[in-house]
Amino acid sequence: MDRQKLMRVALGEEPADLVLKGGQVFAGFTGKFRVCDIAVSQGCIAGLGTYDGPCEVDLQGKYVTPGFIDAHVHIESSMLTPNGFARTVVPRGTTTVVADPHEIANVAGIEGIRYMMDEAAKIPLSVKFMLPSCVPATGLEDNGACLEAEDLRPLLEHPDVLGLGEMMDMAGVLAGDKAVWQKLALLQDSGLVDGHAPLLAEKALMGYGAAGIMSDHECVTPEEAELRLAAGMYLLIREGSAAHNLEALLPVITAENSMFCCFCTDDRHPGDLLSAGGINAMVRQAVAWGIPVSRALQMATVNTARYFGLRDCGVIAPGRRADLLVFDNLSDWEPVQVYTHGQLSAEQGQPWGTQWPSQGQQVMPARLAESVHMAAGEVFSLALPLAGIKANVIELVPRQLLTRRCFMTVPVKAGLAVADPVKDILKLAVWERHKGTGRHGIGLVKGFGLQRGAIAQTIGHDSHNLIVIGADDADMQLAMTHLVACGGGVVIVDGGKVCECLELPVGGLMTAQPAAQVAEQAKRMETLAYALGVRPAYDPFLTLAFLSLPVIPELKLSDRGLVDVEAGRIIAIDENMN
Minimal CA–CA distance to 339: which of 119, 95, 50, 54? 95
Q: What is the pLDDT of residue 472?
A: 96
Q: State phi, psi for 465 to the nearest 5 degrees.
A: -80, 175
Q: State phi, psi for 367 to the nearest 5 degrees.
A: -65, -25
Residues of the chain with pLDDT under 50: none
Q: What is the pLDDT of residue 361?
A: 63
Backbone dihedral region for residue 174 (phi beyond 0: left; psi -120 to 50: alpha; all else: beta): alpha
Q: What is d(CA 470, CA 456) in angstroms, rounded to the nearest whole number?
A: 8
CB 98 within 8 A of CB 125: no
Q: What is d(CA 161, CA 191) in angstroms, rounded to the nearest whole number?
A: 10
Q: What is the pLDDT of residue 424?
A: 96
Could you give the 3-state DSSP secondary structure of residue 480?
Answer: helix
Order of strands across the sheet with 215-216? Answer: 215-216, 234-238, 261-264
Distance from the Cα of residue 308 to its chain's centroid: 17
Q: What is the pLDDT of residue 577?
A: 74
Q: What is d(CA 80, CA 13) in angstroms, rounded to the nearest whole number?
A: 45
Cross-strand pairs, 490: 457, 502
The letter for the amino acid at 399 is: R
DSSP type of residue 210: H
Delimiting residues of CATH 3.20.20.140 domain(s) in the chain: 65-343
Q: What is d(CA 56, CA 251) in angstroms, rounded to the nearest whole number?
A: 42
CB 40 within 8 A of CB 76: no
Q: What is d(CA 139, CA 559) in angstroms, rounded to the nearest whole number?
A: 11
> Check: CATH 3.90.550.10 for 65-343?
no
DSSP type of residue 358: P
Q: What is d(CA 459, CA 474) in angstroms, rounded to the nearest whole number?
A: 21
- Cα angle 72, 113, 241 (rounded to 5 degrees) comes to 35
Q: What is the pLDDT of residue 576?
A: 87
